[in-house]
Amino acid sequence: MAHLLMVESWVGAMSRLLPRAIREAGHEFTFLTRDLHHYLRAAPEGTAHPLLGARHVLTADTNTPDTLLPYIEQLQPVLGFDGVLTSCDYYLPTAARIADRLRLPGPAPTAVEHACRKDTTRQLLAAAGLPGPRFARCADRSEAAAAAASIGYPLVLKPVDLCAGMFVRRIDDEAELVSACRALDDFPVNARGQRRTPVFLLEELLHGPEVSVETVTFEGRTQVVGVTDKSVGGAPAFIETGHMFPAALPAQDAAAAGETACRALAALGLDGVVAHTEIKLTPDGPRLVEVNPRPAGNRITELIRHVGGIDLAAAAVDLALGRRPDLRTRETGLSSAAIGFLVPRTTGVLAAIEGDDLVRQAPDLLELHLAAPGHTVKEAGSNNAYLGHVMAGDADGPGARQRVEALLSGLRPRVVTP
């Protein structure tokens, strides 16, 4: 039995999937957080959050690594951590630094820091010769105006240090650029209380379908587990509305996407990681969107487990312990699995989601999760505003996405204005 230190977590799927993977492997974990109530609020009423299954729950300022690292170092002789991990992007560099400080397995802290900064990622990949969009790193509106004139509209504006598509916007003219910059200026601190880096990227808008490549890198070798497709809506935002695994792509496109992801991971120096690399399949070939040195979110890991039996949450646990993950595929009876998200179209308070009784009876349904009545419905500007999801599978081919879309169409959210 090993003892892992989990440094913060997302409050969504991975806050349940990682504890499950740790428990099923026969290990235990200590959970370290600056605000336990951040997670308790996400648990359904009357239930215990899976993170409370930790051997210990410790409270410390996880946003200040310079004081956190000596604190963890003092705990190590007493608690005996064998590995360090997190699922939350905002704490990936911190987890890597703790593992390095304790001389435990893990990716190089510098590599993780570079991957978690979209501007640094762009610069390093360009220097390594990976083709990508034209881009500029901007510190203010005047720099943005000059960059926009040079690159040309339409553009994509991206904060360099936010996640889940927050404040990522398509920009078609100067007025939209000013508005997007102003909105970002009004968000100086992220949801975890960390002060943001006041810079952003402007990038050439790439055209073509978007996919993600799910990989595992161990001892310098990267294995492509598969390619997941993505549907996007909510313009001018880029909201993920669904995914299917495996992506319904020609073999050469899937191979090209996988090769691009492997080159990007190598250029960043990432090793000992499960990674989720987003790529646009443009008419000129694959172009990298971003590299995420952690398992995919939005339950993509579960799509993969349903289809091929590979558990990427368990792989992340193995890597944190310096062990080679089991990436052998298994027969599951499914050829494809897909998830679709219920994206709100108005704001207010959720009165009900009608039609769920019929969806629950669907023979190919894998998961149905819906927000409860009374839920506050916010404007969908990122991947943080879903009202729920539907997951379904197809035993005979790539029909899972079509089935999910049919099931989603039967759900009717009823939102009232207070």
Please state the rounded mean pLDDT for residues 17-22.
95
Q: Give 137's DSSP letter.
A: E
Q: Give 188's DSSP letter.
A: -
Which pLDDT does position 30 carry in this prediction? 98
Instruction: Give me the residues paired with residue 56 across strands.
Output: 30
400: part of which helix (H) or strand (E)?
helix 400-408
**For strand 336-341 and strand 239-245, is the pairing parallel, antiparallel, or unpaired?**
antiparallel
- pLDDT exceeds 90 at position 82: yes
% residues pLDDT > 70 (the chain) = 99
The predicted-structure confidence for 274-331, as pLDDT tens digits, reads as follows 999 999 999 999 999 999 999 999 999 999 999 999 999 999 999 999 999 999 999 9
Which single residue is written with the structure tokens 């943080």? Answer: 384
Q: Across the chain, what does the average pLDDT equal?
A: 95
CB neighbour list of residue 399: distance below 8 Å, 6 or more residues apart:
336
- pLDDT exceeds 80 at position 44: no
- pLDDT exceeds 90 at position 146: yes
Q: How confident is residue 13, by pLDDT bands cut at 50, 70 and 90?
A: confident
CB neighbour list of residue 194: distance below 8 Å, 6 or more residues apart:
63, 90
% residues pLDDT > 90 (the chain) = 89
Closest to 5 measured CA to CA, from 70, 63, 55: 55
Nearest-Å Rg of the Cα atoms of the chain is 21
The predicted-structure confidence for 199-223, as pLDDT tens digits, reads as follows 999 999 999 999 999 999 999 999 9
Q: Give the Cα separation of 153 and 205 in Å (integer).
A: 8
Instruction: Give me the residues paired with residue 190 across strands.
Output: none
Which pLDDT does position 417 carry in this prediction? 84
Instruction: Give me the residues paired with residue 170 across strands.
Output: 156
The predicted-structure confidence for 152-164, as pLDDT tens digits, reads as follows 999 999 999 999 8
Q: How confident is residue 37, by pLDDT bands cut at 50, 70 and 90?
A: confident
The predicted-structure confidence for 347-396, as pLDDT tens digits, reads as follows 999 999 999 999 999 999 999 999 999 999 988 777 788 999 999 999 99
Helix axes 251-268, 118-127, angle to 10 degrees: 100
